[in-house]
Structure 1
Amino acid sequence: MNGFIAFIRKELIENIRNYRLLIMLTIFLLFGLMSPLFAKFTPQLMESFMPNLAEAFEDPTALDSWMQFYKNVSSLGFSLTIILFSSCLSSEYAKGTLNIMLTKGLARPAVVLSKFSAAAIILTVSYWLSFGITYGYTDYFWPKASLPNIFFAASSLWIAGLMYLSILMLGCVLFRQAFTSILFLLVVTVVMGLLEQIKLTAGYSPVILVSRNIDLLSGEVAISYFTIPLILSIVISVTLLMLSVFIFNKKQL
């Protein structure tokens, strides 16, 4: 446990020094600001530049703000996260620091779990900061808006983000190159997306947590629709982390 705590402290300090934390906070903060502002003022800007089409633009709503939020975070936000942390082990391989730390008594499971935990902490702080800003500005612009399941929808997307990190962690353990780890995550994500298109498995894929958030807010789907994908996401995350630890214990560095 002491080794895990020491290594995760080392990881967090390193993520501050290499600007990962700053980049994550900055980008997600921008998403939090841009989502409601973009939804609120884009129709007005379009009317100014294209007055002939003014009637084609409907008045923005709180749902438009959240639509921007989920679109930005699930695409650009998670993509940035994956790119930034894809080298979490490849950089250690290149510098040869893992052998030094392991020969000094650091347990192998602590390496994998601390790498994942540091990335998860940074993602969690960045994500909920972005959500809080979006929530505040959306409530300011549309104070009378009442959307159901806002926090549940946000929590579902957050859990999906942690699942992506667990898949990436397994990729980093299996492959030494950051690009290959990203490719591994992409393949797994595509497979999950294809499962949602198959009639037998439709409604069970974890990609629902990323793709149907707005439907949950609009009332088109109920919370129960998210139950199985949510449970599967948690099971997948824990299973892949355990698998990552097991493989890393057997891996030659």
Structure 2
Amino acid sequence: MTSFKAYFKKEILESLRQSRYIIFLAGFGIWALVNPLGLKFLPQLIGDQLPQELLDQLIPDRAGAMQNYISDVFSLVIMFVIFPLMGILSDEVGRQRLMLPASKGLSLSQMVLAKSFHYSGVIIDVVFIGFLINYYYTGVLFGDGGITIFNVLQSALLVAIYFIFIISLLLFVSSLVKKGIIAGLSVLVFNYLLPLISSIDKITKFSPYYLFQRASDINNVFDGTLLPSLLTTGFIIVVLNWLAIYRMKKIEVV
């Protein structure tokens, strides 16, 4: 537990020093503002270039605006998480940061867990902040739309769980490679391929990506089809963290 607390504090200080918290908030928070504004005013900017019928189709309701934000979180905002954390373990090895803690008897497994718990907690916070900002501004710009704060919190929870999966995947991949950029790009490519993989009927409802699909259905987030994906994603998260711990224990500290 002493090792866990020491590493957890180290991650907080390092995140502050590298402005990671600001980067996370910028990704989720600023995009939560920009996305609905763009949807609201884009038809006015291009109004003279398109027929009225097509313009009417471009103007979404509140649910459509929030779905657009969720889509952008998956395709764009996720970069604000992956790239700041791409060297989450590879930097520890490549920059020879393990020798001092190991000499003091600190546990490398506790280091992995501290990183996992710290960044998972932070991402949960910023996901909910981003969704609440988007909920407020879509309400201002597009009206109530029958969407409740409870709907939004359910959607945010599923997206947060998906990001915990991504962080766990980053931990594992980063433990395998020496360069953080390789880990970051590998996880990003996998993220973009996951919808294609998940389109296979037999695995659709077991895939972590199914969490995003349910999150996009703002008015009906939780249904009877969600449990397999939740259980599978939770299991994968545990396994990836265990594999990262196993890998770090095998590394020769010099």
TM range (shorter): 0.7 to 0.9
Size of the aligned set, in residue pairs, is: 249
* Match of residue 54, structure 1, among 44, 52, 55: 52
Percent identical among aligned pairs is: 25
Displacement of 1:178 in angstroms is 1.1
Deviations 1:30-82 (A, max 9, x none): 111112222222222222x53x5233212431022202211221111112211
* Stretch deviating more after TM superposition (141-150 or 201-210): 141-150
* Stretch deviating more after TM superposition (164-173 or 115-124): 115-124
Displacement of 1:222 in angstroms is 6.1
Deviations 1:177-211 (A, max 9, x none): 21332354356546744542333323322111224
Displacement of 1:247 in angstroms is 2.2
The answer (yes or no) to whether the contact 1:46–1:54 under 8 Å persists in 2 is no
User: Where in structure 2 are the equivalents of 1:1-253 lying within 5 Å?
Assistant: 1-47=1-47, 49-50=48-49, 52-58=50-56, 59-147=59-147, 149-186=151-188, 188-189=190-191, 192-214=194-216, 216-217=217-218, 219=220, 223-253=223-253
Looking at structure 2, the residues matched to 193 and 140 of structure 1 have their Cα atoms a distance apart, in angstroms, of: 32
The answer (yes or no) to whether the contact 1:38–1:65 under 8 Å persists in 2 is no
Looking at structure 1, the residues matched to 241 and 102 of structure 2 have their Cα atoms a distance apart, in angstroms, of: 19
TM-score by structure 2 length? Answer: 0.87
Question: Kindly tell me: are residues 234 and 20 of structure 1, through their superposed partners in 2, closer, same or farther at Cα, counting changes over 3 Å?
Answer: same
Amino acid at match of 1:130: G
The answer (yes or no) to whether the contact 1:90–1:172 under 8 Å persists in 2 is yes
Question: Kindly tell me: are residues 66 and 182 of structure 1, through their superposed partners in 2, closer, same or farther at Cα, counting changes over 3 Å?
Answer: same
Q: SS of 1:111's equivalent?
A: helix
* Stretch deviating more after TM superposition (236-245 or 158-167): 236-245
TM-score by structure 1 length? Answer: 0.87
Displacement of 1:225 in angstroms is 2.4
Deviations 1:214-239 (A, max 9, x none): 3x2255x8622222112211111112
Displacement of 1:169 in angstroms is 0.5
Structure 2: gaps of 5 or more residues: none
Deviations 1:84-115 (A, max 9, x none): 10112222223322111111121111111122
Looking at structure 2, the residues matched to 209 and 186 of structure 1 have their Cα atoms a distance apart, in angstroms, of: 17
Displacement of 1:4 in angstroms is 0.9
Looking at structure 2, the residues matched to 200 and 131 of structure 1 have their Cα atoms a distance apart, in angstroms, of: 31
